[in-house]
């Protein structure tokens, strides 16, 4: 018995130094959430809600107004596909102007804010996120006249924010800021056209230990994406390190004439990249 | 006579007390794990081909130990601290020689969370040079899982980290018996380590080889396929995978895994080329190839996700 206790003591002193840095930030009780009951009771959500929306009412939306696609159990916590799709009419007079993505249990819960214009054609976005712990994932739509709608899903995942990028860090650095921009399907005048934007960027969460230096990799992530068509904004994305490595966005715009589609990307180190694509829509 | 009676009653009471404590902590019976001698002085415990779950007490990884004339090397320690104790009990029932090395083959919970049961001043923990960083990054999540799912609480300071790092290869002498450890480039994980016993030509491939249990990509698909070519060149008469039955047919034992991973690579590339999205690829890629394996529902879609994220940037 005594022998066992001594051994345990030894282990504690032997390893405390190694792990001390990891434990500097206290983890909230959210980590203990087992199942997705009572999303309103989430303390983090109450804080996020107050900071983003104060006391404004938020209606629970049905699939006819707002869809949130998220797996109930993430296959890979570092690459969780998420889609937020507003189903309300999208006109100049009335449209969803913003989609907020909130992941309660992530170190920085406000994961993305997407802004749309009438030229977007749809408030509809697909991306991939990291989910750090079992968490509520929320899509909140804000209409141009200030109404708020929310969908919530519970996602079982763990460790997404600390998963080391699989690739060679030096190769990743060499490819930093490489952009692939393309339109999918037929491009038709006045019809919403699907765009895929891929950005080569490790999107470091600042939570991964460097294997050589034993230091945490500095936080560096894509912060804003601005997309224009023929000089008019179609998408603005304010992003956080909850977005997966190599950020991937799929969204829409409406071409009313031939023009140039341009994506401008800025990261948290103020590095900026740009990519363009000439688009020639056909008549309907 | 009365004295003996007292002792007996005392022993009974103590036994009952320990039983209650064990039950209260949710600890399974501390019965030693089942062990098979697969070659002279080479032993394995066959884990269940299941996911890491409380229903199987985390007993899902194949574990091994090798006995030299001087001491014993243990290869992986099991999926919970309690399982580690049962594993240690099994080893101590087989040999009285001290355990001089504990080898952690990679930083996944089912293989290393039993480490604490083996910690002691005369035991060195050995792993790939990349192991500690990988475990440090994941430890919090492993311990959360233990607490949330297994009801086992482990203080973060109680996780044992290896102190002997392997880069390339390294030999461990157990007395008249040398084990060759090799750390591999990123494959199943970025810190895979194999153990080869020269005397019996036994290879502990750990999770670089899956049999029956569907392979799981947590490192690099293309890297793993490349590593398998080098693995095939190892002169082994028997190979113990990380999960699934032992094989005496090497390198033929690699074949099913190679076919699955090659199909995964080929069909994921095709899906990307066809403009499919990640969720669309996850719903379509490799379904036929995956159906031959166990635990497909749990891991195949995850493998496609990893493959897609890796391959979509290929030129």
Mean pLDDT in residue range A56-67: 95
For the ranges A153-162, B18-27, B135-144, the lowest mean pLDDT is seen at: B18-27
* Closest alpha carbon to B84 in B61, B100, B107, B106: B61
A81 within 8 A of B291, measured Cβ to Cβ: no
Q: What is the per-residue pLDDT for A174?
A: 78
Whether residue B119 and residue A164 make contact (CB cut-off 8 A), yes or no, is: no
Does residue B308 lie in a domain region? no
Share of chain B above pLDDT 70, in %: 91
For residue B145, the enclosing domain spans 22-253
Q: Which pLDDT band, with edges at 50, 70 and 90, does A166 fall under?
A: low
Residues β-bridged to residue B196: B180, B203
Which of B5 and B170 is assigned the larger pLDDT? B170
Share of chain A above pLDDT 90, in %: 68
Cβ within 8 Å of residue B284, ≥6 positions away: B267, B271, B276
Nearest Cα of chain A lies from the Cα of B160 at a distance, in angstroms, of 7
Q: How far apart are CA A97 and CA A146, in angstroms?
A: 9
List the single residue in B with minimal CA-CA distance to A127.
Answer: B278
B153 within 8 A of A142, measured Cβ to Cβ: no
Q: What is the per-residue pLDDT for A169?
A: 59
A121 within 8 A of A113, measured Cβ to Cβ: no
| Domains contained in chain A, CATH given | 28-279 (2.60.40.2470)
Cβ within 8 Å of residue A200, ≥6 positions away: A172, A175, A176, A177, A178, A179, A246, B313
- A160 contacts in chain B (CB < 8 Å): none
Mean pLDDT in residue range A79-84: 97
Within the 124-153 window of chain A, which residues sit less than 8 Å (CB to CB) from chain B? 126, 128, 133-134
Q: Which pLDDT band, with edges at 50, 70 and 90, does B137 fall under?
A: confident
Q: CA A260, A262, A266: angle at the middle one, nearest 5?
A: 170
Name the one residue in this structure whose structure tokens are 């309690």: B82
Q: What is the per-residue pLDDT for A115?
A: 98
Does residue B226 lie in a domain region? yes
Which of B133, B158, B220 comes nearest A211 by C-beta? B133
Q: How far apart are CA A149 and CA A87, in angstroms?
A: 11
Q: What is the per-residue pLDDT for B6?
A: 42
Following DSSP, what letter does each residue of chain B receive, concatenated?
A: -HHHHHHHHHHHHHHHHHHHHHHHTTPPP-PPPP-EEEETTEEEE---SS-S-GGGTT--S-EEEEE-SS-EEEE---SSHHHHHHHHHHHHHH--S-EEEEE--SS-HHHHTTGGGG--TT-EEEEETTHHHHHHHHHHHHHHHIIIII-----GGGSPPPSEEESSEEEEE-SS-EEEEEE-SSSSSSS-EEEEETTTTEEEEEEEEESSBPP--SS-HHHHHHHHHHHHTS--SEEEEEES--BSSTTGGGHHHHHHHHHHHHHHHHHHHTT--HHHHHTTTTHHHHTTSBSHHHHHHHHHHHHHHHHTT--
Nearest Cα of chain A lies from the Cα of B40 at a distance, in angstroms, of 32
Which of B133, B148, B220 comes nearest A166 by C-beta? B220
**Integer CA distances (angstroms), A45 to A103, A114, A163, A216, A234, in order:** 9, 19, 24, 28, 29
Enter the tokens of residue A137.
Answer: 């994932």
Which of B155, B160, B301 comes nearest A75 by C-beta? B301
B257: pLDDT strictly greater than 70: yes
Whether residue B138 and residue A244 make contact (CB cut-off 8 A), yes or no, is: no
Q: How far apart are CA A253 and CA A34, in angstroms?
A: 40
Whether residue B141 and residue A158 make contact (CB cut-off 8 A), yes or no, is: yes
**What mean pLDDT value characterizes chain B?**
91
Does residue B12 lie in a domain region? no
Whether residue A19 and residue B160 make contact (CB cut-off 8 A), yes or no, is: no
Whether residue A19 and residue B219 make contact (CB cut-off 8 A), yes or no, is: no
Mean pLDDT in residue range A130-145: 95
Whether residue A11 and residue B158 make contact (CB cut-off 8 A), yes or no, is: yes
Whether residue B305 and residue A214 make contact (CB cut-off 8 A), yes or no, is: no
Which of A204 and A254 is assigned the larger pLDDT? A254
Whether residue B155 and residue A19 make contact (CB cut-off 8 A), yes or no, is: no
- Which CATH number goes with the domain that contains B218? 3.60.15.10
**B140, B153, B189, best to mutate vs chain A, most A CBs in 10 Å:** B140
pLDDT tens-digit series, residues B9-32: 434 334 343 343 344 344 445 799
A275 within 8 A of A253, measured Cβ to Cβ: no
Q: What is the per-residue pLDDT for A212?
A: 54
- Please give the helix or strand (H or E) that residue A66 lies within, else none: strand A66-69
B307: pLDDT strictly greater than 60: yes
B239 within 8 A of B247, measured Cβ to Cβ: yes
Does residue B76 lie in a domain region? yes
Does residue B206 lie in a domain region? yes
Q: What is the per-residue pLDDT for A209?
A: 63
pLDDT tens-digit series, residues B51-97: 999 999 999 999 999 999 999 999 999 999 999 999 999 999 999 99
Q: How far apart are CA B315 and CA B313, in angstroms?
A: 6
Q: Which pLDDT band, with edges at 50, 70 and 90, does A23 fall under?
A: very low
Mean pLDDT in residue range B29-49: 94
Q: Which pLDDT band, with edges at 50, 70 and 90, does B2 fall under?
A: very low
Does residue B141 lie in a domain region? yes
List the single residue in A with minimal CA-CA distance to B219.
Answer: A166
Within the 2-21 window of chain A, which residues sit less than 8 Å (CB to CB) from chain B? 7-8, 10-12, 14-16, 18-19
At CB < 8 Å, which residues of chain B contact A?
A: 116, 119-121, 129-130, 132-134, 136-141, 144-145, 147-148, 155-161, 186, 190, 219-220, 275, 277-279, 282, 301-302, 304-306, 309-310, 312-313
Which of B255 and A20 is assigned the larger pLDDT? B255
Whether residue B309 and residue A162 make contact (CB cut-off 8 A), yes or no, is: no
3-state secondary structure B30-75: CCCCCCEEEECCEEEECCCCCCCCHHHCCCCCCEEEEECCCCEEEE
- A23 contacts in chain B (CB < 8 Å): 140, 156
Q: Which pLDDT band, with edges at 50, 70 and 90, does A185 fall under?
A: confident
B284 backbone dihedrals φ, ψ, rounded to 5°: -130, -30
Which of A38 and A152 is assigned the larger pLDDT? A152
B181: pLDDT strictly greater than 50: yes
Residue A203, classed as helix, strand or coil, is: coil
Nearest Cα of chain B lies from the Cα of A96 at a distance, in angstroms, of 24
Cβ within 8 Å of residue A156, ≥6 positions away: A72, A73, A74, A134
Q: How far apart are CA B41 and CA B261, in angstroms?
A: 34
- A32 contacts in chain B (CB < 8 Å): 144, 147-148
pTM of the predicted model, to two decimals? 0.84
**What mean pLDDT value characterizes chain A?**
84
Whether residue A19 and residue B186 make contact (CB cut-off 8 A), yes or no, is: no
Domain count, chain B: 1
Whether residue A32 and residue B147 make contact (CB cut-off 8 A), yes or no, is: yes
Which of A16, A34, A244 comes nearest B148 by C-beta? A34
For the ranges A92-101, A150-159, A188-197, B117-126, the lowest mean pLDDT is seen at: A150-159
Which of B273 and A169 is assigned the larger pLDDT? B273
- Measured torsion, CA atoms of residues A199, A202, A203, A209, in degrees rounded to the nearest 10: 180
Size of interface A-B (CB pairs under 8 A): 117
A283: pLDDT strictly greater than 80: yes
List the single residue in B with minimal CA-CA distance to A207.
Answer: B137
Q: How far apart are CA B152 and CA A248, in angstroms?
A: 38
Q: Which pLDDT band, with edges at 50, 70 and 90, does A214 fall under?
A: low
For the ranges A77-91, A150-164, B50-64, the lowest mean pLDDT is seen at: A150-164
Whether residue A214 and residue B309 make contact (CB cut-off 8 A), yes or no, is: no
Q: What is the per-residue pLDDT for B140?
A: 85
Which of B21 and B188 is assigned the larger pLDDT? B188
Nearest Cα of chain B lies from the Cα of A110 at a distance, in angstroms, of 21
Does residue B86 lie in a domain region? yes
Within the 59-118 window of chain A, which residues sit less than 8 Å (CB to CB) from chain B? 69, 75-76, 79, 81, 83
Handedness of CA A11, A14, A19, A24 (dihedral sign): positive
Does residue B268 lie in a domain region? no
- Please give the helix or strand (H or E) that residue A20 lies within, else none: helix A2-20
């Amino acid at each position: 018995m005594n022998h066992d206790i001594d051994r345990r003591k030894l282990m504690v002193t032997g390893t405390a130094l190694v792990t001390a840095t990891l434990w500097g930030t206290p983890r909230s009780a959210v980590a203990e959430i087992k199942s997705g009951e009572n999303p309103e009771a989430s303390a983090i959500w109450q804080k996020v809600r107050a900071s983003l929306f104060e006391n404004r009412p938020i209606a629970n939306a049905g699939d006819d107004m707002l869809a949130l696609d998220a797996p109930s159990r993430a296959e890979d916590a570092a690459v969780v596909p998420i889609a937020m799709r507003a189903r309300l009419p999208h006109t100049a007079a009335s449209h969803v102007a913003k989609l907020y993505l909130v992941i309660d249990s992530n170190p920085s819960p406000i994961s993305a804010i997407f802004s749309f214009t009438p030229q977007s054609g749809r408030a509809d976005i697909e991306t991939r996120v990291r989910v750090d712990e079992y968490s509520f994932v929320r899509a909140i739509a804000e209409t141009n006249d200030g109404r708020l709608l929310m969908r919530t899903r519970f996602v079982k995942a763990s460790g997404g924010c600390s998963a080391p990028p699989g690739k060679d860090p030096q190769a990743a650095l060499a490819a930093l800021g490489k952009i692939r921009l393309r339109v999918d399907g037929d491009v038709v005048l006045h019809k919403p056209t699907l765009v895929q934007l891929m950005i080569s960027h490790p999107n470091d969460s600042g939570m991964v230990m460097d294997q050589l230096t034993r230091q945490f990799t500095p936080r560096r992530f894509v912060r804003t994406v601005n997309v224009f068509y023929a000089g008019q904004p179609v998408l603005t994305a304010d992003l956080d390190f909850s977005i997966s490595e190599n950020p991937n966005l799929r969204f829409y715009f409406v071409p009313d004439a031939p023009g140039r589609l341009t994506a401008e990307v800025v990261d948290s180190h103020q590095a900026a990249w740009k990519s363009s694509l000439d688009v020639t829509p056909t008549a309907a | 006579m009365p004295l003996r009676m007292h002792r007996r009653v005392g022993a009974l009471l103590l036994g009952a007390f320990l039983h209650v404590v064990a039950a209260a902590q949710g600890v399974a019976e501390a019965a030693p794990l089942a062990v098979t001698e697969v070659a002279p002085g080479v032993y394995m415990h066959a884990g269940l081909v299941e996911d890491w779950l409380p229903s199987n007490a985390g007993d899902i990884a194949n574990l091994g130990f090798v006995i030299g004339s001087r001491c014993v090397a243990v290869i992986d320690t099991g999926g919970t601290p309690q399982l580690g104790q049962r594993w240690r009990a099994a080893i101590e029932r087989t040999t009285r020689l001290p355990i001089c090395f504990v080898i952690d083959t990679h930083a996944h919970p089912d293989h290393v969370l039993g480490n604490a049961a083996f910690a002691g001043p005369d035991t060195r923990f050995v792993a790939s040079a990349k192991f500690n960083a990988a475990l440090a990054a994941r430890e919090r999540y492993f311990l959360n899982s233990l607490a949330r799912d297994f009801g086992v609480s482990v203080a973060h300071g109680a996780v044992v980290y290896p102190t002997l790092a392997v880069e390339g290869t390294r030999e461990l002498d157990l007395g008249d018996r040398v084990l060759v450890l090799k750390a591999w480039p990123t494959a199943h994980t970025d810190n895979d380590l194999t153990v080869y016993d020269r005397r019996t030509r036994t290879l502990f491939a750990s999770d670089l080889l899956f049999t029956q249990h569907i392979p799981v990509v947590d490192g690099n698909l293309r890297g793993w396929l490349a590593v398998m070519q080098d693995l095939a060149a190892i002169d082994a008469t028997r190979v113990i995978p990380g999960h699934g039955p032992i094989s005496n047919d090497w390198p033929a034992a690699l074949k099913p895994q190679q076919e699955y991973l090659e199909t995964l690579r080929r069909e994921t590339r095709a899906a990307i080329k066809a403009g499919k999205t990640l969720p669309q690829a996850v719903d379509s890629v490799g379904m036929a190839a995956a159906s031959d394996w166990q635990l497909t529902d749990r891991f195949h879609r995850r493998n496609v996700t990893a493959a897609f994220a890796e391959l979509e940037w290929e030129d």
